[in-house]
Amino acid sequence: MDDTPISDAELDALARLAGLTIPAHCREGVRLHLANARRMLEALEPLAGDGETLSLAPVFDPAPGSGGPGAA
């Protein structure tokens, strides 16, 4: 996990990219939220492996052949 603090230069660049102005009294809070978002994204990164090992789990169908919800 990357816990490298977000520098002032990075924070300023991200603010410009988003078209935002971050007041001085809000900078540490924004920095904290960006670090949390980075940790959440790292948790969502795809796992390394081949397609056979990481295939999707089967989907449970409670009534096979019924056509699913809303079927006539």
Residue 53 carries which side chain, given as an amino acid letter? T
pTM of this prediction? Answer: 0.55
**How far apart (Å, rounded) are the C-alpha atoms in residues 69 and 51?**
30
Tell me the average pLDDT across 52-69: 70
CB atoms within 10 A of CB 60: 5
- Give pLDDT tens digits for 7-32: 889 999 989 999 999 999 999 999 99
Using pLDDT thresholds of 50, 70 and 90, give the confidence band for residue 38: confident
Task: Identify the helix (H) or strand (E) that includes residue 31.
Answer: helix 27-44
DSSP assignment, residue 25? G
**Residue carrying structure tokens 């520098």:** 7
Tell whether the torsion through CA atoms of 10, 12, 17 and 21 is positive or negative.
positive
